[in-house]
Amino acid sequence: MHLSPSQFFHTHIAPLFKRERCLCYHCGESMRVEGALTVNFQHVLRPVCCHGCLAVLNTIQQNGLTEEYLRSKEQVESSLI
């Protein structure tokens, strides 16, 4: 079966550009959902872009610093608005 160039594009190429994206929970980096790592942070699976962000969030929880982290994160996010 032969596909026309238009059929080939819509079947094989276009889906590559329509991949769903999300933001890393820690650093805010944009990434593909399908390539995201996940970390269980406050009993919720959160997407992270790399092993570094994953390690930071695990370390924050292990050392009881979650409340301070969330306050700091909230301040940063509100300053961006």
Measured at the alpha carbon of residue 66, what is the angle toward residues 65 and 67, in degrees to the nearest 5?
95
C-alpha–C-alpha distance, residues 39 and 62, integer Å: 13
Please give the residue that has the higher pLDDT: either 78 or 46. 46
C-alpha–C-alpha distance, residues 12 and 31, integer Å: 21
pLDDT score, position 79: 80
Residue 20 CA neighbour count, 13 Å, CB half: 5
Contact present, 80 and 64 (Cβ < 8 Å): no
pLDDT score, position 75: 87
| pLDDT, tens digit (0-9, with 9 covering 90-100), for 13-60 | 666 566 789 999 999 999 998 889 999 999 999 999 999 999 999 999
What letter represents residue 17's amino acid? Answer: F
